[in-house]
Structure 1
Amino acid sequence: MKNPPFVCIVTYGRSGSTVLQTVLQSIPGYHICGENMNVLYSLFGASSAAYSSRYEHGNKEHSPEDPWYGADKIVPERFSKKLTELFVEEIIQPPRDARVIGFKEIRFHEAGPDKFEDYLNFIHENLAPCKFIFNVRNWEDVSKSGWWASMNPDVVKGIVENCDHMYAEYGKKYPDRCIQMSYDETRNNPQAFKALFDFLGEPFEEDRIAEITGRRLSHTGV
């Protein structure tokens, strides 16, 4: 069965992403989960290993005594698709009436600049149609919030700016599948969410968004 369209909120901690998740969850038919410890990255690693096994070592048939026996029979594309289907079934667990599904995660940057693009492309290819929402925030505000406050501000600055750079570069290369949202712009400004709703093709109701963004979240404030 074909999955509904997919949405990923790509961000780092204390960026206001839970507010964004809540806004999306309020759209009728949207099922947007929270974090899952970056489960998809492990699946991406398994998929990459399957591709390497098949196309680096399985380019010919091997005898049963060969170390790479069976590698030529691997179908990485099918393997990847089944991995992501299982992710949706067991991690996202969408209800039957879901129109759009997805999740937010603060650990995408753990892929590093060398693998970030490939990682997101893996998601886009196997969970298509898929859209990415990059959520950013001023690094100085991030550094004062939550666990970041116990870290060296220069380290926080480096992490946040590296993430922002990766998001921007990916957005330039694949503009049709991405949008960047800034907590600094959406905070106390419901109208700033209109671009997101246009990107998703959903009707924008400013009063409803104002009510949602005005709530106090259950976890520690940002």
Structure 2
Amino acid sequence: MSFTPTITRYWQTPFAHGEVLPGEGRFSLTINADLGEDRRVTVLTTSDGTVRAAVTPALAERAGLATGTFSASSFRARLAETGITVHDPDNLFYFPESEHAALQREAAADGVRRLTASDGAAFAAFEAAAPEADRDDAFVELDHWAVVGAFAAGRLVSAASAYPWRDAPVADIGVLTVPDSRGRGHARAVVRALSAYALGEGYEPQYRCQLDNVASAATARRAGLTLFGTWEVVSPDSA
């Protein structure tokens, strides 16, 4: 599956600058002085099984990673021994490049439209109908860069919002559907409509969810997105 150069270049960046140390199997480690403190450990596992890790020189020195040859498992073990933890992985989904033109030509489903500040009352009722844990996971906000909603019988039942991600030409998408309206295609419709808008504005749609969020991953696939890989970064609670 072929993704756009925007995506491949973006994800190559942390692992292409600095000293690249070959590892065992399909693992490689980059010591990159340009990584920020909140990304001092970054791990990307692509869908073909390749694992790339990048660490700052200070962390490499501290964890004894600057010399020797590591596998993905021995790298993780060395981090754990040093008291360094990473977040649980996120799935990364994108549209294949071949799907972009068709997506942008596609008309939005009935009842699906962009939301604005004038939809505040409808959005407040929508949020009140969704469980707090779901709202936290989805991170859908009316004041984000772009928001699309699906209405049924005059009621907002599903919404997706996006914002530019880490100064990259990527729009990070979240989606939320109220429990009594799930399984009816609303989430798919708002994700596709929002993705088409993002592409038209020059942004690559990005859909992230944790590995154990099976329902969210299924929504991504139903919307036509394809798994690019998984991403992990150092936890702020790390030693």
Fold agreement, TM-score > 0.5? no
Relative contact order: is structure 1 or structure 2 higher (C-alpha 8 Å, sep ≥ 6)?
Answer: 1
Normalised TM-score (structure 1): 0.29
Between structures 1 and 2, the one with greater helix share: 1
